Chain A
Amino acid sequence: MSKATVLNRLHRAAGARMVDFGGWQMPVSYGSQIDEHHAVRRDAGMFDVSHMRAVDVRGEPSTPRDLLRYALANNVDKLKTPGRALYSCLLRGDGGVLDDLIAYFMREDWFRLVVNAATTDKDLAWLSGLVRERAPQVSLQPRDDLAMIAVQGPQARAKTWGAIAGSEAVTAPLAPFTAATMTSADFGELFVARTGYTGEDGFEITVPAVHAEALWSALADQGVTRCGLGARDTLRLEAGMNLYGQDMDERVSPLESGLGWTVDLASPRDFSGKAALAAAKPLRRLAGLLLCDEGGVLRAHQCVYTDSGAGEVTSGTWAPTLERSIALARVPAEVAAGTMVEVEVRGKRLAARVVKPPFVRHGVALVS
């Protein structure tokens, strides 16, 4: 039986079509997922992301940072100012990707991680093992008492300020990829981050579960469009962002999943998975594909034929902003941007061009 977020009742009341995602009943759309997509690119949309889990890492000053310096493939020492966020992989010893996450540095005695739904239990077991081995005084607290709402789009910040009295003063100064906490008279203790998974500006707001329905309704009253996982997928794919379990997982190196930029092999710092990654030369890479022929839609698991060997689509969709089909695909490392390849779509080979993601940022097409 899949779990329900605290907003489940409101999703059903709004006519959402629900699906199971990572063990949670989540809205896939409330009507047209293409309309929801455009709402985010052009105005403001909101997503229930309460299936994702905030995990607080607390301990005596410097001990959370010391733990994460080893646990995360990206370097938490890049986080110098309170509120700064870092995207990172969590790697096994053999370099396989356990999860991708965002780490927020709030204070030297408090970091917050936000991890994926389906991987929460696995991540906690892995991190608990590292805590026992390396930092027994550090505590890991999964925050089941919190819900999360992502508000995304060019008008997302202004509409959030309209919905949450007093939030503009605290969150207007936030630079991209930073967060702040605030106390709201209506919605309690909020954690507001200028982050997202759509390629647009906006906030991800962590709210006490008891106030989540009220916040969701207040945002709807400001004209923020309810959006489901369907639009979230087309938005993140246009933005060239990976989905865990689809574009990367435990069996594939982050260096073959387009995540080399998040893996810090240069510094002397040791971290879980570093030795394995340093020893293996990547033979494949994650590339963007633009479908050039008519004849269907690119989808995960379709075979990609290149002059350098075969590859596979990891995520594919129809891109509403571009009005054509796009994909992420794992291809031989030597297949460069600009190369023409073929993808097998329902028995036919269709021409596609290799491009460098992202496909769209801030409402603007970056490929054609």
Chain B
Amino acid sequence: MNVPNDRRYVDSHEWIRPESDGTVTIGITDHAQAALGDLVYVELPKPGRKVALNEACAVVESVKAASDVYSPLAGEIVASNDTLTAKPEAVNEDAYAAWLFRLRPDDAAAVAGLLDAAAYSKLIAEA
């Protein structure tokens, strides 16, 4: 399973990529999109919204099921990928390119405490 080294992960299957401006970009992993199957609906948080750690702040629905996306960090939403609303299948096509939202973390150092690619690979191999 594809797990890039340039970002961090959490056990609820979101990926977190630190950006040079201090924000982080968040999406769902390839493992998550494969488990969900074809996505048909995406609901994203609005910029300016404050989210708590592990707060459900986006929804992805596949043909099979609806799934909440949890914020892996506390902070403020600064952008959301609205192109997905018309093309949710982009997440199936490339889950690491089709980001969901961008957030400015309250604690920039918290990113370093998340799973790295090796730890996440191990987690999904055991699941």
Stretch at the interface among A27-35, A74-82, A87-95, A113-121: A27-35
Question: Is B41 an interface residue, CB under 8 A from the partner?
Answer: yes
The B interface, classified by DSSP as helix, strand, loop or mixed, is mixed
What's the minimum C-beta distance from B61 to chain A, rounded to whole angstroms?
5
Contact check, B38 vs A33: say whether CB atoms are below 8 A apart: yes
CA gap between A230 and B35 in the complex, in Å: 12
What's the minimum C-beta distance from B82 to chain A, rounded to whole angstroms?
13
CA gap between A299 and B37 in the complex, in Å: 16
Question: Is B90 an interface residue, CB under 8 A from the partner?
Answer: no
Contact check, B41 vs A33: say whether CB atoms are below 8 A apart: no
The A interface, classified by DSSP as helix, strand, loop or mixed, is mixed
Please report which residues of chain B, range 110-127, place their CB below 8 angstroms from some CB of chain A when the two chains form the complex: none
Tally of chain B residues near chain A (CB < 8 A): 14
Please report which residues of chain B, range 25-74, place their CB below 8 angstroms from some CB of chain A when the two chains form the complex: 34-35, 37-38, 40-41, 43, 59, 61, 63-66
Contact check, A296 vs B38: say whether CB atoms are below 8 A apart: no
What's the minimum C-beta distance from A52 to chain B, rounded to whole angstroms?
21
Provide the B84-106 mask, 1 if CB < 8 A to any CB of A, else 0. Answer: 00000000100000000000000
Contact check, A296 vs B59: say whether CB atoms are below 8 A apart: yes
Question: Is A318 an interface residue, CB under 8 A from the partner?
Answer: yes
CA gap between A317 and B63 in the complex, in Å: 6
Please report which residues of chain A, range 225-264, place their CB below 8 angstroms from some CB of chain B when the two chains form the complex: 230, 234
Known interface pairs A34-B63, A296-B61; A318-B40 also in contact (CB < 8 Å): yes
CA gap between A234 and B62 in the complex, in Å: 12
Question: Is A320 an interface residue, CB under 8 A from the partner?
Answer: yes
Contact check, B34 vs A230: say whether CB atoms are below 8 A apart: no
CA gap between A326 and B20 in the complex, in Å: 44
Provide the A272-315 mask, 1 if CB < 8 A to any CB of B, else 0. Answer: 00000000000000000000000111010000000000000000
* B65 (CB) vs chain A CBs: closest residue: A299
Known interface pairs A32-B38, A230-B37; A299-B63 also in contact (CB < 8 Å): no
Contact check, A230 vs B64: say whether CB atoms are below 8 A apart: yes
Question: Is A3 an interface residue, CB under 8 A from the partner?
Answer: no
Please report which residues of chain A, range 34-72, place their CB below 8 angstroms from some CB of chain B when the two chains form the complex: 34
- Identify B37's interface contact among A29, A295, A297, A346, CB under 8 A: A29
Residues in A neighbouring B41, C-beta threshold 8 A: 296-297, 318
Known interface pairs A32-B92, A296-B61; A346-B38 also in contact (CB < 8 Å): no
CA gap between A128 and B92 in the complex, in Å: 49
Contact check, A297 vs B38: say whether CB atoms are below 8 A apart: no
Contact check, B66 vs A299: say whether CB atoms are below 8 A apart: yes
Residue among A28, A34, A317 with the highest chain B CB neighbour number at 10 A: A34
* B56 (CB) vs chain A CBs: closest residue: A346
Residues in A neighbouring B66, C-beta threshold 8 A: 296-297, 299, 346
Question: Is A17 an interface residue, CB under 8 A from the partner?
Answer: yes
Known interface pairs A296-B66, A297-B66, A346-B66; A33-B37 also in contact (CB < 8 Å): yes
Residue among B40, B63, B64, B92 with the highest chain A CB neighbour number at 10 A: B63
Known interface pairs A296-B41, A297-B40; A33-B63 also in contact (CB < 8 Å): yes
Residues in A neighbouring B61, C-beta threshold 8 A: 296-297, 318
CA gap between A28 and B65 in the complex, in Å: 13
Residues in B neighbouring A34, C-beta threshold 8 A: 38, 63
- Chain B: residues with CB nearer than 8 A to chain A? 34-35, 37-38, 40-41, 43, 59, 61, 63-66, 92
Given contacts A33-B38, A297-B40, A299-B65, 7 further A-B contacts (CB under 8 A): A33-B37, A34-B38, A230-B63, A296-B66, A297-B41, A299-B66, A346-B59
14 contacting pairs across A/B (C-beta < 8 A): A17-B37, A28-B37, A28-B64, A29-B37, A32-B37, A34-B38, A230-B63, A296-B41, A297-B40, A297-B61, A297-B66, A299-B65, A318-B41, A318-B63
Closest 6 CB pairs of A and B: A318-B40, A34-B38, A318-B63, A297-B61, A32-B38, A33-B37
